[in-house]
Amino acid sequence: MPTWFCAREWFCHVGSFNEGGKGTPEDLLFFYDHLRKGGGLYRVDQCLLLYRYHPQAATHSVLEITIWNHRVQFLEERALQHWPSFTIWNAGKQGRKLYRSLTPANQKKVVAFCDVDEKKIAKGWYTYEDCQERPKPKIPIQHFKDAKPPFVICVKLDLTGGEFEDNLKTLRLQEGLDYHHFS
């Protein structure tokens, strides 16, 4: 499980945890405040900490949808507000879920879904059936090589034997500028 830490001085600068009660992902909210105040990140690829896990842990009171909604809101705030348009990389379940979770203004910025699945690409379109608009929004589905950045990538890393990562490398994009991972 990824984790992070900071100096006490920085912790005091960012402010205290959100004590909204049971079901509040206070560590995630603190992390977002850390980033909003200019905090940085460094990746360390070794185990520095072990978590104590037990069935009564407070973390189990945080619903998956709560975390999802906070993540979508942060994505919209930090990236999507700066992009006039973008492509969602994954025409499957996660990509479509992200699209449906966006505000209507950000849904209108989605120019395409991209994927490698020939069946999805052959289908040609994703139609947002639950939308109240008429006609219902239809978003094209393209092969990733035909899609235009910036991308919101809804593909988990290390699940395709390196194939996804190799595909992404071929595009020579810069993370944080040309794409953001949302997986």
pLDDT per 10-residue tile (average), the chain, 183 residues = 79 84 83 90 82 76 88 95 97 96 97 96 93 90 97 92 95 95 90
User: What is the model's pLDDT at position 2?
Assistant: 63
Q: Are strands 125-127 and 138-143 parallel, antiparallel or unpaired?
A: antiparallel
User: What is the model's pLDDT at position 61?
Assistant: 76
User: What is the model's pLDDT at position 19?
Assistant: 77
C-alpha angle with apex 180: 176 to 183, nearest 5 degrees? 145
Beta bridge partners of 140: 125
Structure tokens given for 41: 């990140």
Q: Hey, where are the domains in the chain?
A: 1-62, 81-183
User: What is the model's pLDDT at position 86?
Assistant: 98
